[in-house]
Amino acid sequence: MSDTIKLGIIICDRYRRCAGGKCFRALRNRDGAFNRYVDREVELVGYTTCDGCPGGNVEYLGEEMVGNGAQVIHLATGLVVGFPPCPYIEDFRAFLATRYGVEVIVGTHPIPATYLDTHARLGTWDDPAWGPLLEPILADDLTREAYD
């Protein structure tokens, strides 16, 4: 691998006690939204929460992450699979990209199978706008099951 890319990860505050196990495993294995880095070295330069609705920390965390060299910020899968999904995902993405000039990706680890099943039964992601957000983190059945 070559060409190190520096990343930041923002998690939903309701998971503030999360130690990042699924995100870090996916990063190490290049699963989910991290499969885009399969041929690159990656350095994690920031990991924090949004600070709760409506994302009070998002206004400030970008400056620190970018100051630490972040070129891409990932909005963790928990923002998508939690119930309800974060209503501010698009706002976060637009703000961070505009204010700090970084690429913002929705998702980290693959969606666990149990979450996909529950949200499918609830119809949470029936709106076509969810399609592009879910695509990088859907993965195949075996991978989703490995993240349950």
In terms of Cβ atoms closer than 10 Å to its own Cβ (0-12, 13-18, 19+), residue 90 is middle
Computed over every residue of the chain, the mean pLDDT equals 95
Whether the pLDDT of residue 2 is over 60: the answer is: no
Type of residue found at 108: T
pLDDT of 48 reads 97
From residue 26, alpha-carbon distances to 23, 124, 132, 135 in Å are: 5, 24, 19, 15
Give percent of the chain above pLDDT 70: 99
State pTM to two decimals: 0.95
Whether the pLDDT of residue 1 is over 50: the answer is: no
In angstroms, rounded to a whole number, what is the distance separating the alpha carbons of residues 143 and 148?
A: 9
Whether the pLDDT of residue 73 is over 50: the answer is: yes
Q: Are 105 and 76 within 8 A, CB to CB?
A: no
Domains in the chain, CATH or no CATH each = 2-146 (3.40.50.10700)
SS3 call for 73: strand
CA torsion, points 21, 28, 81, 132, in degrees to nearest 10? Answer: 170
Confidence of residue 3 (pLDDT cuts 50, 70, 90): confident
Q: Are 74 and 108 within 8 A, CB to CB?
A: yes
pLDDT tens for 109-125 read 999 999 999 999 999 99
Whether the pLDDT of residue 93 is over 70: the answer is: yes
